[in-house]
Structures are given as C-alpha cells and as structure tokens.
Amino acid sequence: MARKSVIQREKKRQKLEQKYHLIRRSSKKEISKVPSLSEKWEIHGKLESLPRNSAPIRLHRRCFSTGRPRANYRDFGLSGHILREMVHACFLPGATRSSW
C-alpha cells in the first residue's frame, strides 16, 4: 500500500490540474495563433507562471484500491496484482483467468 501522503499529493495535483485546465488550454491555443515571437514569449511567460503541479504531465495513474503507481490497467483502474486476485475470486465479470 502506498503512503497516505503520496496519495494525498496526487489528489492535490488532480485538483490543481482541473482548476487550471482551461487557462492552460486557451494559452496554448493563443500561442499557435499569434504570429509574432515577442507575443508568443509573453503568453509563454503566463504559462510558466502557473503552478508546476497543475501540468497534466505530472499526474500519475494509481491503483484504486492500493494506490500502487506501477502496472496499472486503465480499463479497471487496478494494478496487475490486485486485478489478478479479483479475477481469480470472480469479482470481475467477463474477465478470463490466466495463470502465470
């Protein structure tokens, strides 16, 4: 299980990303439309002034039940280990068993 502080930090990043999503998207559209380089630098300065944790690249997908950051399946939101346990316990309908 991941440390609670790491999970809370990830939740904080998700909230910041949602808060600044529209500002970031509109600034990037403006950069592509503006022809002069000096105006592009001004808009780029606005992007740099946003909090670093509001960038979507900083988000990390985590397992829903354990908070594990690696080997996650997007379809289920679970790590491979937990997914395998749930399939073997027949908690996920339609998923087939495999043994490895």
Query: Which H helix or E strand runs over 72?
Result: strand 72-73
pLDDT in tens, 34-49: 999 999 999 999 999 9
Domains and CATH numbers, the chain: 1-59 (no CATH), 61-99 (4.10.830.10)
Provide the whole-model pTM: 0.71
Q: Which 3 state secondary structure label does DSSP give 64?
A: coil
For the chain, what's the residue count? 100
Average pLDDT of the chain to the nearest whole number: 89
Q: What percent of the chain has pLDDT over 90?
A: 58
Query: Which H helix or E strand runs over 79?
Result: strand 78-79
